[in-house]
Structure 1
Amino acid sequence: MAYATRALVIHPLVRIVLVPATLLALQSLCSLLDGRRFLRRVRRSLGQPPGSYQPRAAVIVPCKGLHPGFEGNISAFLTQRYSDHRLIFVVASEDDPAYRYLKERLKASSARGPALKTALVVAGRSETRGEKVNNLLAGIAAVEPQTEVLVFADADATPGESWLKSLAAPLEDERVTVSTGFRWYLPGESFASQLRAAWDASIATMLGEHDHNFAWGGSMAIRAADFKRLRVAERYWASTVSDDYALTRAVREAGGRIRFEPRCLVKSREDSGLGEFLHWANRQIIITRVYSPRLWWKALGFYLFYGATFLVGLGSLVLSRRLTGEWLATAGLLLAILALGIAKGRLRATVAREMFPEECFTLKQYGARYWQLAPLVPWVMLLNFVVSAFARRIEWRGVRYELHSADEVRVVRN
């Protein structure tokens, strides 16, 4: 009898971890179901033709430097299938290598015919806001009065030929204030590139058919009248480094709606080293902390909960000396959490293949990294959130900023 009693004795941590592990497994299951809904949304969007709504649009593209793929991305902007639009490229200085390239490229495009309207704007520098936002404001100042829709894009992403048409189409519905896509990183040869793709895809799949969407500055559109009505330029972009978080805030405070359009996912490549990736990822979360503190606190709580559950759970399994039902349940729950995360990673790989069939060779080689690296993503996120808790300085494209609040930024070094 005494032997049987001793056989049932397990480390108390095993019992303690059962409840949080169960909650985390349920959350992982809900996350997987969200991933399935995201994939269905993508398939439904791809199965329909782009909308016919094509108001007069101005596409503002801030540029800096000649990064890999820049020339191809500019070509993609110049070959959009859209009836009436004007492309406005903006640089901070004529000394920027992008300025000379764009000047020659736009000159060559205009020589082929007047159908495509373009402009190249030099914004100068600002001490009170981010260089990208300053470029956007300079681009807006160059917009023609008859423009109905303002479109914002990043020069380091490659839009599809129907991207502009797909981004403008949701704005036909007056209930939609902003239409948005998101970046989708393709994994490259390096481990850091593959980890970046898995890390960022976990954010992309948060978007969907719900009221919690956020705008992404590299692929977003708003009616010019709404941009003016919300006083985005004067109130939200006057002193910020984050164009998209600021626009999201403006829309939410006005009770507006942000519509995610899967066709406006734009592929990106970045074959950087691990240190550069971590610097980039930390910057994303530092910006989130300053411009969306409620989201930051919720996410920090989740990743702390995730990390603590796994560490305590694994520790309890190692310290326990008996193989009991509770031990097996704990081990099973931890494995289920990992398996559900991997399954969602597989859904992301499927999204990439169906969204970008022209990248079949790359995705055949490295597409599996979306799910193979999925178990590592929460730990990288936890690191990013811990770092962001103690940092308010970021460096973005060679410029260092100190973020005091959502409405105050100081340029430390240009």
Structure 2
Amino acid sequence: MNWYYYIAWLVVGAQLLFTYNAARNYRYALAKHDKKGDATYKPRIALIVPCKGLDPHFDANVRSLLCQEHANYRAFFVVQERSDPACAELCRIRDELATRPGTPRMEVWVAGPSAACSQKIHNLLYAIDRLEDDIEILAFADSDVCVRSDWLVRLVRPLRKPRRGATTGYRLFVPIQNNLATLGLSAINASIAQMLGNTRFNHTWGGSMAVRFADFRRLGLAETWKHTLSDDLSLSVAVKKAGMIVAFVPACLVASYESTTWPRLYEFCRRQFLITRVYAPLTWAIGFLSSLGSVLGLWGTAAMAVYAAVVDAEHARFFALVPAVFVAGQLLRGILRQLMMVRLLRDQVSRLRPAILADVLGFWFWSLLLLAFIVSSAFGRTIRWRGIRYRLIGPTQTQILSE
């Protein structure tokens, strides 16, 4: 029996395993999303939102964070400098809502420039250092996300159980323009979201995450953050080292309105994967190998089928079926993740239709592009984030190059 026969069975098995995992995460997401849960857990929460510039739909995003069903929370919005246009807009929203019943206390703070960590983390630490002692939960959001009214309730609910050290949602990019780069951003991001589920491999995402304030202190995260760039990955690493888990909350998948270009898409994806390589190298390696497997599995098995036909191999018909298995598996995963997104973000379905079609029909192209972005992140340590250039010296050391 030829050597490539065994290879074909191996890659088919891996493809079936990936598809099974996607189906498992799909079932988990829908089950958790529909579950009501305990509504009696009402800890005092500090919601901290770092801001820089005016993101698309900035006003609606901020208001969504101030209209949460959880009554026992305070919202703190932090900018680098008073001249930031976000500062004036936040103050306008604060003053407008100040007399509206049910609106939580909202503060707008100016943190000043960072010296040794990312500006985002500097803003977060500025707020955390000024919190009152009665705060039980730290919740974090980005200014470019729009959340549901039950987002905060759902986000903190799993923290009732001590073994859950942090909770996380994730984002789904909702295209503002339906150009190919923006549709690609949505599709690639959705494929990453599909990996989250009931698994130890979850990582927190800083735009929708929460942690108990007592655990934040006990794990020494304030000291860790003073010299780092990534708030979420460093939080994940600390939580897992302490023997706790990161709980993914499907109902906290949030919409992020975006329009991008090919250069900006490349810059964004390379930055995300480079940060992952520095802070979570095992996760980066697994992502690289799975992406490489998807690409080689599809195109490599197609070449293998041609080779088997040319040499008139004994199992030539079997080899011809292997690429079909890969096409079917990757197509099914694309359908599953988009069905999940539609279910979790029902109010965004009309805007998402072009991205859904682009993902399902172009999965073979996006997998190539994803692999290219991951490979590009294997080189260098310099990134640009929100207009500031950083060098990632290591997980606990960041150099600010310029602004």
Where on the TM-score scale, by shorter chain, does this alignment land: which range?
Answer: over 0.9
Pick from 200, 213, 230 the counterpart of residue 242 of structure 1. 230
SS state at 2:82 partner: coil
Deviation at 1:149, TM superposition (A): 0.5
SS state at 1:186 partner: strand
Deviation at 1:342, TM superposition (A): 0.9
Pick from 146, 149, 152 the counterpart of residue 161 of structure 1. 149
Give the distance between the partners of 1:331 and 1:129, measured in 2 at CA: 53
CA gap 1:350/1:301 in 2 versus in 1, 3 angstroms: closer
Determine whether 1:353 maps to 2:361. Answer: no
CA gap 1:305/1:207 in 2 versus in 1, 3 angstroms: closer
Deviation at 1:405, TM superposition (A): 0.7
Quick one: which amino acid aligns to residue 162 of structure 1?
D
Q: How do residues 283-362 of structure 1 correspond to structure 2 at under 5 angstroms?
A: 283-318=271-306, 321=310, 324-362=313-351
Query: Is contact 1:50–1:165 with CA below 8 Å preserved after alignment?
Result: no
Pick from 19, 36, 56 the counterpart of residue 49 of structure 1. 36
Pick from 129, 136, 154 the counterpart of residue 117 of structure 2. 129
Q: How do residues 10-409 of structure 1 correspond to structure 2 at under 5 angstroms?
A: 17-52=4-39, 53-113=41-101, 115-187=103-175, 188-234=177-223, 236-318=224-306, 321=310, 324-409=313-398
Query: Is contact 1:88–1:139 with CA below 8 Å preserved after alignment?
Result: yes
SS state at 2:315 partner: helix
Deviation at 1:311, TM superposition (A): 4.8
CA gap 1:310/1:178 in 2 versus in 1, 3 angstroms: same
Deviation at 1:290, TM superposition (A): 0.6
Runs in 1 of length 4+ with deviation above 6 angstroms? none
Quick one: which amino acid aligns to residue 14 of structure 2?
Q
CA gap 1:252/1:15 in 2 versus in 1, 3 angstroms: same
SS state at 1:411 partner: strand
Deviation digits for residues 237-286 of structure 1, max 9, x if unmatched? 12111101000011011111211111111111212112211111111111
Query: Is contact 1:149–1:221 with CA below 8 Å preserved after alignment?
Result: yes
Deviation at 1:104, TM superposition (A): 1.2
Deviation digits for residues 299-331 of structure 1, max 9, x if unmatched? 333434444455544444455535555333223
CA gap 1:115/1:357 in 2 versus in 1, 3 angstroms: closer
Gapped regions of structure 2 (runs ≥ 5): none
Farther off after superposition, 306-315 or 171-180:
306-315
CA gap 1:312/1:209 in 2 versus in 1, 3 angstroms: closer
SS state at 2:56 partner: coil
Larger Rg: 1 or 2?
1
Deviation digits for residues 83-106 of structure 1, max 9, x if unmatched? 110000011111111011001111
Give the distance between the partners of 1:323 and 1:383, measured in 2 at CA: 34
Query: Is contact 2:71–2:104 with CA below 8 Å preserved after alignment?
Result: no
Give the distance between the partners of 1:326 and 1:135, measured in 2 at CA: 62
CA gap 1:143/1:34 in 2 versus in 1, 3 angstroms: same
Q: Percent identity?
A: 32
CA gap 1:211/1:321 in 2 versus in 1, 3 angstroms: closer
Deviation at 1:37, TM superposition (A): 1.8
Give the distance between the partners of 2:127 and 2:292, measured in 1 at CA: 41
Gapped regions of structure 1 (runs ≥ 5): 1-13
Deviation at 1:382, TM superposition (A): 1.7
Deviation digits for residues 147-200 of structure 1, max 9, x if unmatched? 110001111111111000001111111221111111122345111121111111
Give the distance between the partners of 1:267 and 1:147, measured in 2 at CA: 27
Give the distance between the partners of 2:282 and 2:354, measured in 1 at CA: 39
Query: Is contact 2:46–2:76 with CA below 8 Å preserved after alignment?
Result: yes
User: What is the aligned residue count?
Assistant: 400
SS state at 1:241 partner: coil
